[in-house]
Chain A
Amino acid sequence: MNNSPYFLKPASVQSVMMRVLLALIPGIAVYVWFFGAAVLVQIALASVTALLAEAAMLKLRGKPVMLFLGDGSALVTAWLIALTFPPIAPWWLTVIGVLAAIVIAKHLYGGLGQNPFNPAMVAFALMIVAYPSLMSQWPAVGFTDFMPQWNAIFGTRQLDAITMATPLDALRTALHTADARATVAGVLGNDATFGNIGGKGWEWVAAGYFIGGIYLLQQRIITWHMPAAFLATLFVISGGFALYDPTRFVGPSFHLFTGGAMLGAFFIITDPVSGCTTPRGKLIFAAGIGLLTWIIRTFGAYPDGIAFAVLLLNIAAPLIDMNTQPPVFGHKRKGGRPS
Chain B
Amino acid sequence: MLEALLVMALGAVVLGAALGYAAVRFRVEGDPLVEKIDAILPQTQCGQCGFPGCKPYAQAIAKGEAEINQCPPGGEEGIHKLADLLGREVKPLSAEHGIEKPKSIALIDEQTCIGCTLCIQACPVDAIVGAAKQMHTVIAKQCTGCELCLPPCPVDCISMEPIPESVESWKWRYPVVRIVPADKAAA
Contact = CB atoms under 8 A, between A and B. Distances in A.
A and B touch in the complex (CB under 8 A): yes
Contacts of A67: 179-181
A64 B181 CA distance: 10
A181 interface: no
Interface string B164-187: 000000000000000111000000
Interface string A64-76: 1001000000000
Q: How large is the interface on A (under 10, 10 to 19, 20 to 34, 35 or more residues)?
A: under 10
A24 B181 CA distance: 31
A157 interface: no
A332 interface: no
A67 B179 CA distance: 8
Chain B interface SS verdict (over half): loop
A63 B180 CA distance: 9
Interface in A17-71: 63-64, 67
B181 to A, nearest CB: 7
Nearest to B181: A67
B185 to A, nearest CB: 11
A71 to B, nearest CB: 12
Interface in A58-113: 63-64, 67
Contacts of A64: 179-180
A63 B179 CA distance: 8
Contacts of B181: 67
A293 B179 CA distance: 40
Contacts of B180: 64, 67
Q: Mostly helix, strand, loop or mixed at chain A's interface?
A: loop
Interface in B138-187: 179-181
A311 to B, nearest CB: 30
A311 B33 CA distance: 41
A110 to B, nearest CB: 14
A196 to B, nearest CB: 54
Nearest to B175: A3
Interface in A186-222: none
Contacts of B179: 63-64, 67
A64 B180 CA distance: 7
A187 B181 CA distance: 59
Interface string B81-93: 0000000000000
A67 B181 CA distance: 9
Contacts of A63: 179
A64 B184 CA distance: 12
A67 B180 CA distance: 8
A182 B181 CA distance: 63
Nearest to B176: A2
B62 to A, nearest CB: 33
A111 to B, nearest CB: 12
A139 B179 CA distance: 45
Nearest to A68: B179
A189 B179 CA distance: 58
A67 B178 CA distance: 12
Nearest to B180: A64
A63 B178 CA distance: 11
A334 to B, nearest CB: 33
B161 to A, nearest CB: 32
Nearest to B172: A3
A113 to B, nearest CB: 13
Interface in B97-120: none
Interface in B39-78: none
B55 to A, nearest CB: 37
A42 to B, nearest CB: 33
Nearest to A1: B182
A246 B80 CA distance: 64
A61 to B, nearest CB: 11
B177 to A, nearest CB: 12
A63 to B, nearest CB: 7
A117 to B, nearest CB: 25
A36 B181 CA distance: 43
A5 to B, nearest CB: 13
A241 B179 CA distance: 53
A108 B181 CA distance: 25
A39 to B, nearest CB: 35
Nearest to B179: A64
A20 B106 CA distance: 64
6 contacts: A63-B179, A64-B179, A64-B180, A67-B179, A67-B180, A67-B181
Interface of A: 63-64, 67
Interface of B: 179-181
4 closest cross-chain pairs (CB), A and B: A64-B179, A64-B180, A67-B179, A63-B179
